[in-house]
């Protein structure tokens, strides 16, 4: 099972738990409140378009 991060607003803490992807909430081990799943944003750097220097047209 994958590892997901859960965030408890009450404790303002993050918890890592192994659970199924269907589970969107987790009971906080500290306060017992519902902790929400945190979606980690992992983005790969896309290809940056480089400007090509164009030569001026001759008359």
CB atoms within 10 A of CB 34: 14
Asked whether position 9 contacts Zn ion by CB under 5 A, the answer is no
Stretch in the footprint of Zn ion (CB under 5 A) among 5-13, 14-22, 44-52 = 5-13
Asked whether position 26 contacts Zn ion by CB under 5 A, the answer is no
Least distance to Zn ion, CB of residue 1, Å: 22
Asked whether position 38 contacts Zn ion by CB under 5 A, the answer is no
Q: Cβ distance 27 to 17 under 8 Å? A: no
CB atoms within 10 A of CB 51: 5
What CA–CA distance (Å, rounded) separates 31 from 39?
Answer: 22
Positions in the binding site for Zn ion (CB under 5 A): 8, 10-11, 28, 30-31
């Amino acid at each position: 099972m994958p590892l997901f991060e859960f965030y408890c607003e009450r404790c303002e803490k993050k918890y890592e738990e192994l659970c199924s992807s269907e589970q969107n909430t987790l009971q906080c081990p500290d306060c017992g409140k519902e902790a929400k799943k945190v979606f980690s944003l992992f983005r790969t750097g896309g290809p940056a378009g480089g400007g090509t220097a164009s030569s001026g047209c001759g008359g």
